[in-house]
Structure 1
C-alpha cells in the first residue's frame, strides 16, 4: 500500500516539569526533573533509537530544558571540580557522612520512599525490605537514632536505582552490578552510580537532537514557563466553555498580552539554545488555546498547534456542526484557522487508553488492542488520504504504573506500528500539506475536558490567581526603577509564578502531600519576586491557602481528557 493510502498516526509525547529551583538560593526544592530524566526521558529516547523506522513528536517545555542542563552541570561540577550539588536527595549520594540527627534523617527517609510502591519498590526485594523499615521509622521517628549509617546509604542508592530507566538497567553493566550487590554499598559504589546519573543527564538533550536531525522525531515546544496563554491574555476566556465559572477578583491579568508574548518568544529562544534550531510547532501549555493565543503563536512563526478533542467538540457544537457521527469525519483532520496556524486535536479515547487503561494489561494485549482501534479507523478512512489521528499525552508520568516502566508496551508499540502495512507513523510538520478542514472561531479551552476548570474557577485556584495578580501589579509598578540585571531576573521569576502547574494542584480533590509541596513552592516563588523588586511581601504569603484530601487516579499527575462518570 502506498504511503499516501496508509492511515497517518502521530504519537506525541509532552515532557514538562515546573521550576523546582529557588531562583535566589539556587537550591532545588523537589527532585522530579532529574528523576524523570533518569527514568522517562532516557527510556523514551532509547525506544525510538531502537526502532529507527518509528517516528514521533516530542515536546519539551523550555523551563524543563534549563533545569536538565543545570542538573547535568551540577553533577559534572561535583565530579570534576568538587562543587556542591544543590538538590538534597541527589546530594545524599555524594555525602561521606549522612545525617545523624533523627530530625535531619526523617526528610531524607521520606524522600527515598517517593516511588510507585508496586512497580518500583516491591519489584526489588532489597528496596522493599528497606522501605518497610523506613515506614516503621516514620511512625517511630525517635528510633532512627539506633540506625546504622549503612541503612541510609542503601536506601538512597536503591531509590536512585529504582528511578533509572529500564533500558539503562538492561544495558549498563555498572548498574547491573549494583542491583546484584543488593546492599552494603560503599562510597565508591555511590560515586559510580552518580557517574552513571551524570552521563544520562548530560546526554539526554543531545539524544533527542540527533533523533530530530535524522528526521525520526519532530521536536516542538511550549511557551517558556508553561503558562495557560488564553488566561494570561484574558481571564474571562474561561467563560467560553464555562459561562458560570467564578473568576478571580480582577478579571484581567495585568499586561497579560505582553506577558503571554514574552513567554512565547523566550520559549522559542530557549528551545533554540538547546537544540540549535527554532521549532515549527507548539503544544501550548495544557493544550490551552483561544483565537487570541493562536494569534500570538502565529506572529512568532509557529505553523501548528495541538490541543484536546474537547476544544474541537465545543467549537463545532457552538457553530451548529454535527459531532455525533464517527470521529473520522470531524476529528482526524488538519484544521486551518483564521490565524494561519494549523490545529490538530487529540483523540482522547486512544490517548487515555495509553495513559490509564493499558498499564494493567499484558503488553502484547495492550499493543494489539491499540493497533486494532487504529486498523478500524484506517478502514473507515481508506478513501480519505487527508485523515490523521493524533495521540497526545504526558511522556513521563504514565510509565511508572506499567511493568518495567512500559518497556514491553513501548517496544511492542513502535515495532508494530513502524512496520504496519496500513498505518504510517508521522509528525505534525509532515502533515501540514494535508487538505485542511476550516475551523470556526474557537471556544477557548484546554485538553482537560475542553475547559480551563483545572486551573481557574474554584475558590482555591482563584485565590492563587489573586495572589499572582497582586505580584504582577507590584512588578509592573517597580520595573522602571530596577536595574537591567535585576529586571531580567524579576521577569523570569514572575514567569515562573505564571506557570500552570501550581494551579493544577490547588484544590481539595488532589492528594494532601502533593498539594502541600506545590502550594508551598508557589508561595516561595511569589515571595522571591517581591524580594527581587524590593517590595515587602504581603503577610498572606506566610499562610497556607489550599489543602488537599483527595485520591485521584495516578496521584493526580495525569487526568483523562473527558470527564469520567
Structure 2
C-alpha cells in the first residue's frame, strides 16, 4: 500500500501597523474567508482523508484580532470599516482611496470576470478615470458600498457560497446593497472567523488531521543563526556587510517556544511536528528543533538533493545526521507532485487534474509499493487561480483517494512511526529551503542584504536596552514582541525585482515602519536611511492579491 502524506501550510505575515494596530493589507482576513473555511470543508466532507495542516502562530493571532473587531465593532481593518459604514455617502476620503486601490486585487479570470456586477464596477471606475482629474467625484456612496461588498463576495470561499448564510443571496442580488445587506455580510464574516480555529481543532481531536506549527513569526531561522550557511548551496552568494545576526540562537529558541505555547493554548496539545518557515533548514537549526522536543520536521527535494545526492529518495523518511541529538525524523517533499497542485492544475478541468494526480501516485506506488509520497505546499495561495477556488479538484481528488484501497492518506506523525523501519541516515544537511533548494530568495540580492543590515543594527540597539536593568518588564515585552515581527522572513521574500511593484512597496514600507517603531520603543533616533525605500522597484505585474509561493 502506498502512503500519501499531505501537508497544507497556512501562513500570512503580520499586516498590522506597529503603532496603530491597524491592518495595512487585508490578506489575512480575505484568506480567512476564502481558503481556510474551504480547506476545512473539504476534510469535513471527506472524513476518510487524513493529512497534516500547519498553522503559523502569527496568522492565528491575526484571525483572533479580526474576531475581536467583529465582536466589538472597533474596526482596525479599513475593509470592515467601509463595509459597516452606515452612510456610504459620508465615507472618509482616505477610505475611498484605499478601497479604489485594493478592491480589484485578485486573479481576475477566476475571481472577477465570472461576476457581471463586479465587472461593471471595474469598468465604471476605468471609465471615470479616463475622463479627467475630477472623474472620481462622480462615484456615489452606493458605488463604494457595492464595491466593498463585492470585494468580500469575490474572496468568499466556495463552501460559504454553497452554505446557508447570506453570501449566495447577496451575489444573486448583484448590487444596490443596503445597510442591512452589508450588516448581514459582516455578521457572516464574524461567524466564519470565530469558527475557524475550533473547526481545525475538532478535526484534530477526532484524529483526522495532525496540526503542526512553524516558529512564531515565520523567521528564516538558518539565516538568523548564520548568514554564511547561504553559501552551502550557493557558494557565490553575496552576504550582507554585517557579520551576522547577534543573538540569533536565543531568538530562534524564543520563536520555537512561542509556537509551542500558541499551539497548546489554541489547540490543546503540544505539537509533534515543525514545518520550518519556507522549509528552510540548516544543521544548527536542526539541533534547536531537536532540543525543543519536536519529533519530525520537513523540507523539500532540492535540499535533499544537495545533501544526499541527486538519487536520494523522497519516498522514505530520513534520520537526522549523527551529530544531531535525539531521534528527529526528516521528510522531504516530492516537488513534482507538489508543484503540479501548486502551479499546473489550476489550468486543468478539476476532474482531469484529480485523475492525473491519481495516475502519478499509482505510478509511484507501482515503482515502490511500500513507498511514502510526501506532498507539501501552501494551503491558501494557489486556489484563487483555480475555478471555483479548487472546489471540484478537491472534491474529485479526495473522493478518488477515499475509493482507492491501494493508497492510504496519513499524517506525518503516522508516517514517521509507520515508516520508521525504512528510515535512512542523512549523511549531512546542506542548508536550503523549498525554493530552489537554496536561501537565495531571502539573501544575496542587494535589497535583501540591506534589509538584513537594517535589522542587525536595530537588534544590537535592542540588546543594549534589554541588558539595562532599568528597563521595566512591560517595555521589555514590547521590544521583544516587535523584534519578533521584524524577524519575519516575508520582508526579505518580497524585496527584489521579480515581485509586483505594488506589493514590494507595501512590504518595504511596513518593514521600515516596524523597525522605526522599534527604535522609538528603544528611545533612540531612527537612522535616516529608514526614510527611503529599500527596494529599487518591483518588476512583475500585479495579478493576484497575495504572494504565490514559488515552491
Structure 1 SS opposite 2:262: helix
Give deviations 1:392-425, integer Å, cap 9, x for gaps: 0011010000000000001111111122121100
Structure 2 SS opposite 1:356: helix
1:366, 1:7 → 2: CA distance? 20
2:48, 2:294 → 1: CA distance? 27
> Residue in 2 aligned with 1:150?
142
| Residues 265 and 225 of structure 1: CA distance in aligned 2, closer, same or farther (over 3 Å) | same
2:329, 2:96 → 1: CA distance? 53
Which of 328, 341, 350 aligns to 1:341? It is 328
Q: CA deviation at 1:137?
A: 4.0
The answer to whether the Cα contact below 8 Å between 2:283 and 2:431 also exists between their aligned partners in 1 is yes
Structure 1: state its 5+ residue gaps.
Answer: 1-5, 79-83, 318-322
Give deviations 1:282-314, integer Å, cap 9, x for gaps: 100000101111111111110000111100000
> Residue in 2 aligned with 1:131?
122
> Residue in 2 aligned with 1:424?
408
> Residue in 1 aligned with 2:338?
351
Structure 2 SS opposite 1:424: strand
> Residue in 1 aligned with 2:260?
268
Which of 38, 52, 61 aligns to 1:43? It is 38
| Residues 403 and 233 of structure 1: CA distance in aligned 2, closer, same or farther (over 3 Å) | same
Mapping of residues 433-512 of structure 1, within 5 Å:
433=417, 434=419, 435=421, 436-479=423-466, 480=468, 481-512=470-501
Structure 2 SS opposite 1:278: coil
Give deviations 1:233-289, integer Å, cap 9, x for gaps: 111111110111010011211101111111111111112211111100010000010
> Residue in 2 aligned with 1:332?
315
Structure 1 SS opposite 2:134: helix
1:136, 1:268 → 2: CA distance? 52
1:235, 1:544 → 2: CA distance? 23
Q: CA deviation at 1:77?
A: 1.2
Give deviations 1:61-81, integer Å, cap 9, x for gaps: 011011111101110112xxx
2:177, 2:385 → 1: CA distance? 28
> Residue in 2 aligned with 1:396?
380
Which of 60, 79, 97 aligns to 1:106? It is 97
Structure 1 SS opposite 2:166: helix
Mapping of residues 65-76 of structure 1, within 5 Å:
65-76=60-71
Q: CA deviation at 1:100?
A: 5.3
The answer to whether the Cα contact below 8 Å between 2:17 and 2:514 also exists between their aligned partners in 1 is yes
Which of 92, 104, 118 aligns to 2:109? It is 118
> Residue in 1 aligned with 2:79?
89
Structure 2 SS opposite 1:389: strand
Is 1:176 aligned with 2:132? no
1:109, 1:85 → 2: CA distance? 19
Which of 245, 250, 264 aligns to 1:258? It is 250
Give deviations 1:206-225, integer Å, cap 9, x for gaps: 00000000111110000010
Give deviations 1:74-95, integer Å, cap 9, x for gaps: 10112xxxxx210111211111
1:213, 1:103 → 2: CA distance? 45
Q: TM-score, normalised by structure 2?
A: 0.95
After TM superposition, the structure 1 stretch with the greater mean CA deviation from structure 2, 129-138 or 248-257, is 129-138
| Residues 429 and 103 of structure 1: CA distance in aligned 2, closer, same or farther (over 3 Å) | closer
Is 1:303 aligned with 2:295? yes
Structure 2 SS opposite 1:344: strand
Structure 2: state its 5+ residue gaps.
Answer: none
Which of 172, 190, 211 aligns to 1:198? It is 190
The answer to whether the Cα contact below 8 Å between 1:61 and 1:226 also exists between their aligned partners in 2 is yes
| Residues 173 and 232 of structure 1: CA distance in aligned 2, closer, same or farther (over 3 Å) | closer
The answer to whether the Cα contact below 8 Å between 2:106 and 2:545 also exists between their aligned partners in 1 is no
Give deviations 1:407-458, integer Å, cap 9, x for gaps: 0001111111122121100111001221211111100100111100000011
The answer to whether the Cα contact below 8 Å between 1:7 and 1:422 also exists between their aligned partners in 2 is yes
May I ask how many residue pairs the two structures share in their alignment? 539
Is 1:527 aligned with 2:511? no
2:277, 2:264 → 1: CA distance? 18
1:171, 1:475 → 2: CA distance? 50
Give deviations 1:341-381, integer Å, cap 9, x for gaps: 10000111110100110001011110010000000000011
> Residue in 2 aligned with 1:62?
57
Structure 2 SS opposite 1:508: coil
Structure 1 SS opposite 2:524: coil
Structure 1 SS opposite 2:189: helix
1:556, 1:39 → 2: CA distance? 13
The answer to whether the Cα contact below 8 Å between 1:509 and 1:551 also exists between their aligned partners in 2 is no
The answer to whether the Cα contact below 8 Å between 2:304 and 2:332 also exists between their aligned partners in 1 is yes
> Residue in 2 aligned with 1:214?
206
The answer to whether the Cα contact below 8 Å between 1:102 and 1:145 also exists between their aligned partners in 2 is no
Q: TM-score, normalised by structure 1?
A: 0.93
Please give the root-mean-square deviation of Cα atoms over the aligned residues, in Å.
1.5
